[in-house]
Chains A and B, each alone.
Chain A
Amino acid sequence: MILLGVNSVVLLLMVITGFITYSSTHHELDELFDAQLTQYARLLDQLLIQNSLSLDHTDPLIVYVPQIAEDGIERTSAEERRPEGHKYENKVAFQVWSTDGKLLMKSANASDRELAPRTSGYHEVFHDNRRWICYSTYNREHGYWIFTGQREDVRGELSFYLALDQLIPLSIALLPITILIWIAVYWGIKPIRDLSKELATTKPSMLTPIDITLPVELRPFQIAINQLLKDLKSYLVKEKRFIADASHELRTPLSILLVHADNIKKSTSKEETDAAANAILISTKRLSHLVSQLMETEKLEHSGQLKLTSLKLISLIEESLALVDVGLLDKVEWDLDIDPSLELRAEPGLLVAALRNLLDNAAKYAKVQSHVRITAHVVENKLVLTICNELPEGIDVDLERMGERFYRHQSNQHISGAGLGISITTKILELHNAELSYSLESRLVITTVIFSA
């Protein structure tokens, strides 16, 4: 396609060049030949004056013009120059007429009719279906008209050949030019071909960056593709990890359902049936909770930039507290120590969900009727929110692994949840440019969220 396009452009340029050359040459020749016609007429006039042409002759004086036929055979200029003259003499003619309309003198190839109108100057006239450019001049003193003329086709032919002479070498050069263009295009687009080959062989499962040397012009393209491949790879890894994690987490509750369903089928006592039914119920709830949290996590994994608005922290905490389960809400005493003027930029829906998770966990992992203390203050332009809860006896936490997806401490397996709540919260806080951390002082768990300004 590139080759076809380039050749078309070259051809078009040649046609335009030819036309311009033809027009320009034609114009220049017109001027030259017009001047010649005038000079012929003046020369003839001077000769006639000097030789005292008798106007009393009965017959006009005929000037010989050799009759050389145009046989269409191409000859060199030297060959065309014959002793008797040139074939082109036929294309130039002149006449001298007396004022009273008598033909006094003419070239042999001129007709007996007046060559041009009796008006001084240049004229375009037709004789024998041919266009002639003529010049008329009047000698007032001696009383005669001189007409000189030239066939127009001479000029056209000459212009055509001159233009052609210029185009022929170009036309001859077209084939090598085409071949050279093809070679240039072939080598020029080689990096694109290599890139295309590399992309075609890239397996969706591999997505390795394109590591080939490309010209400077293609580097930005290569960088963009590699960035895209990198993003795709990271997306696929995330998806894979999510599926692996999800399938791993789903397998155990599914096993429970399978085993207990089988137990119900084969049970021989009401106690056995009730125990199996109860296990199925618990496992179904666990599954349902797990699936909804998985969906939530998945949504967050692909969240882009959040639409943040300025909000009062106290309002967000109150809203989050209102969402905590009533049982948990009543389980502990809530102490709030937050300056009502403190504000932060947040996406209210998501941040409330995250704070609710933190408060929920604080109550869940707190001693019955103990105090859960929520405080906030500004340190070095950063808003620091802390939630403290006292761990009940027999409950332990592994601070290093908290926030890890699906992690729950061994001593807390009986507490409902799939270990996803904190991981979702961490993700939401990350999106809010906030950092979540935990510390343990004696039996007091301190959850700290630092919102960067």
Chain B
Amino acid sequence: MRILLVEDDLLLAQGLSTALTRMNYRVELCTTGKQAIQAASESQFELMILDLGLPDGLALNVIKSLRSLKHGIPILILTAWDHLETKIEALNAGADDYVLKPCDIREIEARLRVLVRRHQQRQLDQLQCADLTMDLTVHECRYQDRLIYLTTREFLLLKEFMLHQGKILSRQHLEELSNGWTGETESNSIEVHIHNLRKKTKPECIKTIRGIGYMMVNQYED
């Protein structure tokens, strides 16, 4: 799952990024509202963590701009502003949650899951695709009731497939998800990760759509 973190304080951004990456999220960082709007428009993110006090003004305009572009990305406000009016204004503008700094990273992560769950109209954090199950709460994956070990990138990719079963995910999106904006960009790295996932689960579960990308089929023959 890719998260767009919009935070101008680099120390805090670095800390949040490290903590969320450890929890199997891919975090991309923007430090201004302008960058955030551009990133959200050009890349696919599951969620945005937005600081309100950005160098180029109050981030309420970011929310308003995204919503005016019909961008439905869930937005979690993480800010030091605790004025009631600001909270109401942010939520009315289209933010999905409002968290006050300082906040424990576990709470932030739990709120992220809630937002994504709500956005994807799921009720549980347990994903299932035939014999394959994934528990987003504890970051575990089981195939035929057997716990399988996945690397961070494999977990990220598999989670993405399971969240979007039956939908084609572009190669570019998967690469961004796997490598991030600053990661390595070997052209065959996605193939390697997909190969590993097929090996650890069932080869038929992830189907290659030539020239476009990959798709998880939710009904395959065992």
Contact = CB atoms under 8 A, between A and B. Distances in A.
Whether A associates with B in a native complex is: yes
A259 B105 contact: yes
Contact of A276 (B9, B18, B54, B100): B18
A254 B101 contact: yes
Interface residues of B, number: 26
B22 to A, nearest CB: 6
A252 B14 contact: no
A279 B15 contact: yes
Interface in A253-274: 254-260, 262-263, 266, 272
Contact of A256 (B9, B82, B104): B9
Contact of A249 (B55, B80, B105): B80
A260 to B, nearest CB: 5
Interface in B5-37: 8-12, 14-16, 18-19, 22, 31-32
Given A256-B9, A410-B56, A413-B9, A251 B14 contact: no
The A interface is mostly helix, strand or loop, or mixed, namely helix
Contacts of B183: none
B69 interface: no
A321 B33 CA distance: 39
A259, A266, A283: most-surrounded residue (chain B CB, <10 A): A259
B24 to A, nearest CB: 13
A248 B11 contact: no
A256 B11 contact: yes
A258 B8 CA distance: 17
Contact of B102 (A254, A263, A410, A414): A254
A248 B83 CA distance: 10
Contacts of B100: 251
Contact of B104 (A258, A276, A410): A258
Contacts of B80: 247-249, 251-252, 255
Contact of A259 (B16, B56, B81, B83): B16
A266 B177 CA distance: 23
B103 interface: yes
Given A248-B81, A258-B104, A410-B55, A276 B15 contact: yes
Nearest to A272: B18
Given A279-B11, A410-B56, A259 B82 contact: no
A65 to B, nearest CB: 106
Nearest to A262: B105
A256 B15 contact: yes
Nearest to B18: A263
B14 A255 contact: no
B8 A413 contact: yes
A409 interface: yes
Nearest to A279: B11
B19 A282 contact: no
A66 to B, nearest CB: 105
Q: Which of A255, A275, A283 has the most chain B CB within a 10 Å cutoff? A: A255
Interface string B35-52: 000000000000000000
Nearest to A412: B55
B9 A259 contact: no
Given A248-B80, A254-B102, A262 B19 contact: yes
Nearest to A266: B22
Contacts of B16: 259
Interface in B156-188: none
Contact of A255 (B12, B32, B54): B12
A409 B31 CA distance: 13
A258 B18 contact: no
Nearest to A254: B102
Contacts of B9: 252, 256, 413
A410 B32 contact: yes
A272 to B, nearest CB: 7
Interface string B62-87: 00000000000000000011110000
Contacts of B15: 255-256, 259-260, 263, 276, 279
B104 A262 contact: yes
Given A252-B101, A255-B15, A283-B11, 16 more contacts: A244-B83, A247-B80, A247-B82, A248-B81, A251-B100, A251-B102, A252-B9, A254-B102, A257-B102, A258-B102, A258-B105, A259-B105, A262-B105, A263-B18, A266-B19, A413-B9
Interface of B: 8-12, 14-16, 18-19, 22, 31-32, 54-56, 80-83, 100-105
17 contacts: A251-B80, A251-B82, A251-B102, A252-B9, A255-B80, A256-B11, A258-B103, A258-B105, A259-B12, A259-B16, A259-B19, A262-B19, A263-B15, A275-B18, A276-B18, A279-B14, A413-B9
